[in-house]
């Protein structure tokens, strides 16, 4: 039996240091500029592609790390560099994972390379689920996918919103309703290939934070995609729908565990992003507190400042441990009987908001200006309690899981 250890192995340390180097040398110096420009940092993505950080291989290697720590470690380091740029780099991975997890071999081989492009001609991908009236309540989704049997094509109509890379993506993954009677069980995902007529970008949002990451509406008007673009294929969908109909006819499924394994496995990655931003702000605050002198001594000599830093560091470490536990559980196939993935995302995202606010406070007037990065980090941190399920939704999932109650 393997010995219990909390230490990263040598390979992991090497990868972590490599990503950290890229975050420190390439991402961090570019952060303020792309935050101000509010544009996708294509040159930085290209740099990441050249060194191998923007690629499916990189993502897959971290994903298949048998300890589960590959993905959280990579996320923490990239988001330590800058959240907006890091999201521009990993946004494609979030769409690619959907294809990797549910697609056929042919779909994986055809579409994932087109999501990334090449280092000389980088592309991005988008995952479009949220809609104006269906955010937390995914069951309220209205985008429809209708099968045209004669042509073996699916026809998509609807409006998606808040899609990271929406409209600028080479490949869009779109979730749509195929059987409205079945609620979320009647949803399916579709690959929309580059240049498909009928897909257009709606409003591009001007945001509070992560401004280097492109967020926009995606409008779908009679978008026709070949039958081969249904993720997983038609047979699998038909089987899944038949099972769902049977269960619905039998009066529904008895819920033993409200936490959904896929979300429990993906949410720790968002928790790790939050840990990265929190750690970045903490480090700036610690350094500042040691060097800023008031009343003839460094401000860290005041217990009021030092205790804040002690709490910040403690909470960041606690958040990381929750993230690592959930990430390990996902690869070890442990059931999330207490929604441990949601727990890690909830705690880490709340810690990031709190710690970055404390960092602004510790830097005083400087913390409030764009001369120092904590102002940006504080704005960026607000996203973590919103996307991939708000904090309230995480609490709802945890509570319902503990109570063995259905989520909806
Ligand atoms: C920058 C950014 C990037 C995003 N990227 C993507 C993306 O790439 N793809 C994608 O599909 N989506 C994306 N999203 C959408 C994101 O996942 C949603 O914003 C999120 O799920 C919340 O939905 P909502 O904004 O509609 O809020 P709502 O669901 O309207 O919630 C509003 C408030 O009500 C609370 N609330 C709602 N229901 C309950 C309840 N039952 N109990 C208690 N409180 C409740 C919420 O917690 C929240 O505080 C992104 C969003 C942003 C801002």
Is 388 annotated as catalytic?
yes
Q: pLDDT tens track of the chain, all 408 residues?
A: 567 888 899 999 999 999 999 999 999 999 999 999 999 999 999 999 999 999 988 988 898 899 999 999 999 999 999 999 999 999 999 899 889 888 999 999 999 999 999 999 999 999 999 999 999 999 999 999 999 999 999 999 999 999 999 999 999 999 999 999 999 999 999 999 999 999 999 999 999 999 999 999 999 999 999 999 999 999 999 999 999 999 888 876 655 556 678 889 899 999 999 999 999 999 999 999 999 999 999 999 999 999 999 999 999 999 999 999 999 999 999 999 999 999 999 999 999 999 999 999 999 999 999 999 999 999 999 999 999 999 999 999 999 999 998 876
- Using the atom order of ligand 1, give the atom closest to the CA of residue 207: 1
- The CA-CA-CA angle for residues 74, 162, 354, to 5°, reads 55
Backbone angles phi, psi at 176, to 5 degrees: -145, 165
Q: Which pair of structure tokens corresponds to residue 236? A: 């699998």
Question: What's residue 7's pLDDT?
Answer: 87
The residues, ordered by sequence, that sit 6+ positions from 300 with a Cβ below 8 Å of its Cβ are: 286, 289, 290, 306, 309
How far apart are the CA of 390 and the centre of ligand 1, in A?
6
Which residue has the CA at smallest separation from atom 23 of ligand 1? 135
How far is Cα 388 from Cα 210, in angstroms, rounded to an integer? 15
Question: What's residue 253's pLDDT?
Answer: 60
**Looking at the DSSP assignment, which residues form a beta bridge with residue 147?**
154
Question: What's residue 194's pLDDT?
Answer: 98
Please give the domain boundaries of the chain with CATH numbers for all domains. Answer: 10-122 (1.10.540.10), 125-249 (2.40.110.10), 261-403 (1.20.140.10)
Q: Is the pTM of this model over 0.75?
A: yes
Q: Which residues line ligand 1 (CB under 6 A)?
A: 127-130, 135-136, 162-164, 207, 210, 215, 383, 386-387, 390, 392-393, 396
């Amino acid at each position: 039996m393997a010995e219990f250890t909390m230490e990263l192995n040598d390979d992991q340390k090497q990868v972590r240091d490599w990503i950290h180097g890229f975050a420190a040398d390439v991402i961090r110096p570019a952060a303020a500029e792309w935050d101000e420009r509010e544009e996708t940092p294509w040159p930085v993505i290209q740099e990441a592609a050249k060194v191998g950080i923007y690629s499916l291989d990189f993502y897959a290697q971290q994903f298949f790390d048998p300890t589960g720590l590959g993905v959280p470690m990579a996320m923490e380091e990239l988001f330590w560099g800058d959240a907006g740029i890091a999201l521009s780099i990993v946004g494609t991975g979030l769409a690619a994972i959907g294809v990797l997890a549910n697609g056929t071999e042919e779909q994986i081989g055809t579409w994932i390379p087109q999501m990334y492009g090449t280092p000389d001609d980088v592309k991005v991908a988008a995952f479009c689920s949220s809609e104006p009236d269906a955010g937390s309540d995914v069951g309220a989704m209205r985008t429809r996918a209708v099968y045209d049997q004669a042509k073996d094509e699916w026809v998509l109509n609807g409006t998606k919103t808040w899609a990271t890379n929406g409209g600028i993506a080479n490949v869009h993954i779109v979730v749509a309703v195929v059987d409205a009677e079945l609620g979320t069980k009647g949803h399916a995902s579709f690959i929309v290939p580059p240049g498909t007529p009928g897909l257009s970008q709606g409003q591009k949002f001007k945001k509070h934070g992560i401004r280097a990451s492109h967020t926009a509406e995606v409008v779908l008007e009679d978008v026709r995609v070949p039958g081969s673009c249904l993720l997983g294929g038609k047979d699998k969908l038909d089987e899944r729908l038949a099972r769902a109909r049977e269960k619905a006819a039998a009066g529904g499924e008895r819920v033993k565990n409200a936490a959904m394994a896929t979300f429990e496995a993906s949410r720790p990655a968002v928790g790790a992003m939050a840990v990265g931003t929190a750690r970045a702000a903490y480090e700036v605050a610690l350094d500042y507190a040691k060097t800023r002198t008031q009343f003839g001594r460094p401000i860290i000599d005041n217990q009021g400042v030092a205790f804040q830093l002690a709490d910040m560091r403690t909470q960041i470490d606690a958040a990381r441990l929750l993230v690592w536990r959930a990430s390990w559980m996902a690869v070890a196939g442990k059931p999330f009987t207490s929604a441990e993935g949601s727990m890690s995302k909830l705690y880490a995202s709340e810690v990031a908001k709190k710690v970055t606010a404390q960092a602004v406070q510790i830097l005083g007037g400087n913390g409030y200006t764009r001369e120092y990065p904590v102002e940006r980090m504080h704005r960026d941190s607000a996203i973590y309690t919103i996307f991939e399920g708000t904090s309230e939704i995480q609490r709802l999932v945890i509570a319902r899981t503990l109570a063995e109650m259905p989520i909806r």
